[in-house]
Structure 1
């Protein structure tokens, strides 16, 4: 099947159609090159404490020394890292990757059941866990292959006395560390001390070796481990770097990292790409505390920030955000969910900078599409396929559809995963023999190769035979000045098959159901209008703040089952 690539004519100046993704053999090689080039530059900052590239190099060597010299872990073994954004994360990450271990990124908010599944499925031999979540780990370990547990406290790498004060406050004042009993666990700081006695071994890491088992799909069934190789991750770094090259100065970037590093978007874009550029990652441990987040922004001269639509919206709705100094900001990048125009427009008005929207999946390491960095306003699109990436919109039979028509977005490129860990059947459902990934997203592409995501295939609502896309409904309702957040889902209806139900968090407490219905009547055609509206104090969200429509749908189905 021949592929047309109209997008190449619309690339920014200096961006090639293809990059040499074999420039580095591994993620570890990229990291080591940055440590050499930018040794005295700040690399990671958290709670006001900064580690330079040289310090992260030394600490990660010590951690690797402990894992190999004391625990006997070898290339190909899996290690789970269960941490929020703390300085311990990059130290552990790069230490593990330099040994050729496979990192199993683990959401600290997992329940014992979810954690047990991930540990059992991955076959992880070791886990590094924050004290706050060690009680969950304790309940999850039985029946897994985990032989080694390393525990750490929030302030362990912050230095004395600040780190000790933070740890005291977290444990004794805020009571955020539930009691746990892991008698054989080793403290992270002790692991570093013991690791310094062992030289980090030289490991031959091949491009096709697994760098990450990145679990995905937990909200749509049992979570699957996407096998991301060193080639996948290095390719995505090298594909994306020229895209921002004219807007990012090596050794002079400071990026706000509020999305968790265990999430693929933040892991690749913030941690890996900006590390390869010698940038400083300012780690925000708890972005849900918006007032504290804004306070941190006021203390930081930052040049870049990433987020999802809900995070940008949350900042805009936090008092004091408008007084942050945005004079150095030149890159605000969104992904993970649809960027809503209402949020993008407000962001531009407050900061003077547009949000650059991109698109990707865990299965694509993650970046596959991006808007040009020189756009000045919201485009409504996810932009163009990045270098080395092919894309097509296909129908149910797998055939390309004409320009402008909707279908499933399919992607091929060096960033596409190897498959799902130990799940060949699930892999074959989404990945063809010739490397095409079915994304499950409904999209259309214009004549220039610019793509527009319509919605998730699974989230589409069928009202009397008409396709209704929640993204469109939500984007429209978000323009109402009294609405802070909204989710639209399909619920069963005996007359129409399905109808739209809205879940709304109010910005204006006086907003009524009737007023919102009137607004929808003015702005949406009949079959798209919500039949049901429910006001809530909050909406269920994923670890990165993505609204979980699936949970809302499941709630509605349970209510219906209870009635019948």
Structure 2
């Protein structure tokens, strides 16, 4: 049975997927007509690229409902309401740099805080913290890491960077990346997700196959790198990639772009494991100058 056949046979109204499955459903030709009982698709567990969400909804006419949570909070802490009018749904999904994860759910408090744990202003970036009845008691027999997970007044630290905006009288939240994945180059901070989006906007066919990450660098502390999961690179695509990179501010440009057939490391929920890719860039720890586009050696290891 195909996914669409199961949805039809069981009259499924709501299903859940990780973002990396959306291109698979598009390639399979899924549309509203093929799954008429499906009201919407829940999307969570990994960042949802805005262009992918827009393309999926336009081609399938199936609304995407994004939620956000973490294992330590048992279930969703935020979620876009499936009952939003179409115009408001579109605004939440496509009016900001990333699709919204919606407001905090009933019984849950969410804040965006700075490095000192103080709430930030609307639009400012910080760490999303959460508190409520679904908060874990702690990590099993691990008091040290349990203590690290909580800030003042019982706020659980998510490790996710984001911001909030006021929408119809209440805050709605947005996730822009993982704090541990932020690239720190010459003391300036860059979100790899934001840099990825910049490149994918210029080359939308690379969505889901292009990853930006930071790798150790002798001069800058960290440098911006990128990996493209593509076994070969023709001259036309190489030229378009070079042009897109050259259009970025110098400090934000990937200085090394590797490509190859090696799969992008992901967790079982589809989250990209950028740190496992850092050793791939060890050869360029002292690289300076223009961007290098090169093939990833087949024997390049993946760190654990």
Q: Are positions 1:366 and 2:75 aligned together? A: yes
Contact 2:40/2:65, CA 8 A, preserved across alignment: yes
What are the within-5 Å matches in structure 2 for residues 5-24 of structure 1? none
Alignment-derived partner of residue 350 in structure 1: 59
For residue 402 of structure 1, report the CA deviation from its aligned partner. Answer: 2.3
For residue 429 of structure 1, report the CA deviation from its aligned partner. Answer: 0.4
Given candidates 495, 501, 525, the residue that maps to 2:249 is: 525
Alignment-derived partner of residue 164 in structure 2: 445
What are the within-5 Å matches in structure 2 for residues 357-506 of structure 1? 357-373=66-82, 374=84, 375-377=88-90, 378-379=93-94, 380-432=99-151, 434-447=153-166, 448-479=170-201, 480-484=203-207, 485-506=209-230
Contact 1:331/1:355, CA 8 A, preserved across alignment: yes
Alignment-derived partner of residue 41 in structure 1: none
SS in 2 for 1:321: coil
Structure 1 Cα separation of the partners of residues 258 and 232 of structure 2: 15
What are the within-5 Å matches in structure 2 for residues 530-541 of structure 1? 530-537=254-261, 538-541=263-266
Structure 2 Cα separation of the partners of residues 389 and 382 of structure 1: 14
Higher strand share: 2
Q: Are positions 1:340 and 2:63 aligned together? A: no
For residue 321 of structure 1, report the CA deviation from its aligned partner. Answer: 3.3
Structure 1 Cα separation of the partners of residues 69 and 149 of structure 2: 15
Alignment-derived partner of residue 31 in structure 1: none
What are the within-5 Å matches in structure 2 for residues 536-555 of structure 1? 536-537=260-261, 538-555=263-280
Structure 2 Cα separation of the partners of residues 501 and 494 of structure 1: 14
SS in 2 for 1:302: coil
Contact 1:382/1:452, CA 8 A, preserved across alignment: yes
Contact 2:212/2:227, CA 8 A, preserved across alignment: yes
Contact 1:482/1:507, CA 8 A, preserved across alignment: no
Structure 2 Cα separation of the partners of residues 507 and 368 of structure 1: 39
Contact 2:46/2:270, CA 8 A, preserved across alignment: no
Instruction: Classify 1:431/1:347 alpha carbon distance in 2 versus 1 (closer, same or farther; 3 Å).
Output: same
Gaps of 5+ in 1: 1-46, 48-291
Q: What is the TM-score of this pair, normalised by structure 2?
A: 0.79
Contact 1:486/1:503, CA 8 A, preserved across alignment: yes
What are the within-5 Å matches in structure 2 for residues 216-365 of structure 1? 292-293=2-3, 296=6, 301-316=11-26, 318-322=27-31, 325-365=34-74
Instruction: Classify 1:506/1:313 alpha carbon distance in 2 versus 1 (closer, same or farther; 3 Å).
Output: same
Structure 2 Cα separation of the partners of residues 514 and 464 of structure 1: 29
Cα deviation digits, residues 11-63 of structure 1 (max 9, x gap): xxxxxxxxxxxxxxxxxxxxxxxxxxxxxxxxxxxx7xxxxxxxxxxxxxxxx
Cα deviation digits, residues 332-363 of structure 1 (max 9, x gap): 11111110012101110122122111111011
Structure 1 Cα separation of the partners of residues 51 and 232 of structure 2: 16
Contact 2:266/2:273, CA 8 A, preserved across alignment: yes
Contact 1:360/1:367, CA 8 A, preserved across alignment: yes
For residue 507 of structure 1, report the CA deviation from its aligned partner. Answer: 10
Structure 2 Cα separation of the partners of residues 398 and 322 of structure 1: 45
For residue 393 of structure 1, report the CA deviation from its aligned partner. Answer: 1.5
Contact 1:326/1:351, CA 8 A, preserved across alignment: no
Contact 1:308/1:337, CA 8 A, preserved across alignment: yes
Contact 2:226/2:258, CA 8 A, preserved across alignment: yes
Contact 2:192/2:212, CA 8 A, preserved across alignment: yes
Cα deviation digits, residues 277-301 of structure 1 (max 9, x gap): xxxxxxxxxxxxxxx5466557554
Gaps of 5+ in 2: 286-299
